[in-house]
Structure 1
C-alpha cells in the first residue's frame, strides 16, 4: 500500500494489522499476517504486508456470483461459525456509520433507518471472491469493524442474487435474513449496492436489488 505520509493511517491502512491482533488466524479460516514493513520516501508512505500463502482458488473471480455453488453442508456450517466468532470480537473500529444509514437507507431503499439497531463486528466484505472452498478461508480484512447485526450475511446474499439457488442457501443458513433483527443490516447493504448502481457499477444486480428493496419496504 502507499499513501501520502501524512495520511498513512486509519481503518483501511491498519485493517490487516488490526485483524491479526484481534483474530489471529481465526482457527485457520483467516490467512495469518506474518510481517509488516513500513517505509517513507519523498513524502510517500509505503506498507508491505506478508501473509500466509493461500493456495486454494477463491469461489468466484468476481464479487457478483455468476455460477451456482456446490458446497457441502459442513462448509456452510464453518462459515456461519466463523462469522459468529468475528461478530463476538470487541472493537472500536467502524465499518458502517449510523449517519450513513440515516441518509442512505431512506434515499435508496425508501424506508427510515431502522431504530434500535444491534451492532456487532463484521468482516464487511463477505462475497465469493473473498472466500475459498476447502479449506474455508476468508480473505481481505482491510475494512472490518462494527456494523448492524447480520451485515455480513446480507452482503453475501446481495452478491449471490443472480444465482437463486445460492441466494436461497444463504437465507437458509443465516436465518437472521428476513427477521426483524436483520432488517437494519439488510437495508444497509441494499442501500450501499443501490448507491453503486446509481454511480454506474453493479448494473447487472439492479433489478434484483430493487426487488429486495421492495421486500424490505413491505417488512
Structure 2
C-alpha cells in the first residue's frame, strides 16, 4: 500500500522506512518534484476503527496552524479504503533538524539558546489562543485517574485552552524549534503542554527549572492543576510498562504541585 501512495503522489523514496508506535504508521523520507524533500506517512486501521482524534489530528492541525507556528507544512492528505482496512496517507514538508531527545523521556540537558525558548513560548501562546472542538483531555478522565495514581482529589479544571497535546522532547527539534506530531492536539487544561514537557524531563532537574522559569503558568493554580493531570497520565502509562523508571521522579514532582 505504501508503494501505491508513492506512485499516487509522484514521489521517490529517499530514506529508510520507519514504523510508528505499535506499528500503526509507516513513514519514509521522499522527494517531490515540486515540494522537494518531504515526509510520507501512512496510517492504517481496521475500517471500523478509522477516524476520530488520532486519525484527523494532523490534517486539522494543518488547517489551523500551518504558517502560524513552526510545524511541518502538510501538502496533501489522502484517505483510501481497501477491503476491511482504512488508510490515510499524508505528505508533509521534511523536517531535518535533530530532535531534543531520541525518546520522549529526557535523559541529558540539551544546550538551547534563549531564542529557542522565545520561539517555543510564542508558538504555544498561538496554539493556546486558537479554537477547536477537539478534546485532548476530559474532566471525567481527570476525575478517575488523578485519585487512582496520586491519591489526591482531582483538580476541577476552570480554564481550558487548545494544546499540542504531546509536547515532549522527542517532538521538539533542537534548532528552530519545530513542533512535531500533532495527532493529539485539542482542548486541555491551561498549562498542559508546559506541564507535559516538565514531567517528561523530570530526570533532568536543570531542564525542569528552566521550563518553570520560562513558563510562569506552572507557578499558578492552573499550572499546578495541569501538572497533576500529566503526572497522573504518565504514572498510568508507567503502570502499563511505558517508562516505569519515571515513577519515583514523577511522585516527587507531584509533591511540588499538591
The reply to whether TM is greater than 0.5 is yes
> What is the Cα deviation at residue 215 of structure 1?
2.4
For residue 145 of structure 1, what is the aligned residue in structure 2? 186
> What is the Cα deviation at residue 83 of structure 1?
0.3
Q: Could you list the per-position Cα deviations for residues 88-138 of structure 1 after superposition, in whole angstroms to 9, with x for gaps in the alignment? A: 111100000110001111111222122352000000110110111222100
Q: 2:139–2:156: 8 Å Cα contact kept in structure 1?
A: no
Q: 1:167 aligns with which of 194, 200, 208?
A: 208
**In 2, distance between residues paired with 1:115 and 1:95?**
16
**In 2, distance between residues paired with 1:95 and 1:33?**
21
RMSD: 1.2
**In 1, distance between residues paired with 2:89 and 2:102?**
24
Q: 2:166–2:193: 8 Å Cα contact kept in structure 1?
A: yes
The answer as to 2:55 corresponding to 1:18 is: no
Q: 2:119–2:176: 8 Å Cα contact kept in structure 1?
A: no
Greater Cα shift, 197-206 or 147-156: 197-206
SS in 2 for 1:46: strand
Q: 1:176 aligns with which of 213, 217, 225?
A: 217
For residue 3 of structure 1, what is the aligned residue in structure 2? 45
TM-score, normalised on structure 1?
0.95
* Higher RCO (Cα < 8 Å, 6 or more apart): 1
TM-score, normalised on structure 2?
0.81
The answer as to 2:85 corresponding to 1:47 is: no
> What is the Cα deviation at residue 202 of structure 1?
1.3
Q: Could you list the per-position Cα deviations for residues 131-177 of structure 1 after superposition, in whole angstroms to 9, with x for gaps in the alignment? A: 11222100000010000000000000011111111111011101111
The structure with the largest strand share of the pair is 2
Question: Which 4+ runs in 1 deviate beyond 3 A?
Answer: none
Larger Rg: 2
SS in 1 for 2:132: coil
SS in 1 for 2:216: coil
- Which structure 2 residue ranges, 5 or more long, are not aligned? 1-42
**In 1, distance between residues paired with 2:52 and 2:87?**
14
The answer as to 2:137 corresponding to 1:102 is: no
Q: 1:57 aligns with which of 62, 76, 98?
A: 98
**In 2, distance between residues paired with 1:115 and 1:205?**
25
For residue 203 of structure 1, what is the aligned residue in structure 2? 244
